[in-house]
Amino acid sequence: MPKRNSNGWSVPLTQVIEIKGGQKLVTLADARTFILKRPKRQHSAQWDGAIRCLLQAAETGSAADIKQATSQIKLCVRLSAKATDASGQRKGTTPDVSR
């Protein structure tokens, strides 16, 4: 059974993930907050996998789980950035005309 880390969400990611706009994800808690603030319509199967890895890392605290969560979140952030066009709208979505 994997060793449980008592630090839980305060554990640092294996590398800092920089988000467009200057935000930085440093800990599992930062990643959790970032994901929870994302609009539901922007979630995908890739994000679901990253969320599962993040929960596993917070639960076990194992270095391997933290590394996996970090890499999955980093991949999702990169894919999300590519899916957003220059207008800031996610490709395949309808612009919000109420603004």
Report d(CA 85, CA 24) in Å as an integer: 21
What pLDDT, on the 0 to 100 scale, is given for residue 39?
Answer: 84
Are 69 and 31 spatial neighbours (Cβ–Cβ below 8 Å)? yes
What pLDDT, on the 0 to 100 scale, is given for residue 54?
Answer: 97
Are 66 and 75 spatial neighbours (Cβ–Cβ below 8 Å)? no
Confidence of residue 45 (pLDDT cuts 50, 70, 90): confident
Confidence of residue 88 (pLDDT cuts 50, 70, 90): low
**For residue 76, what are the contacts with CB-CB under 8 A and spacing of at least 6?**
44, 46, 47, 50
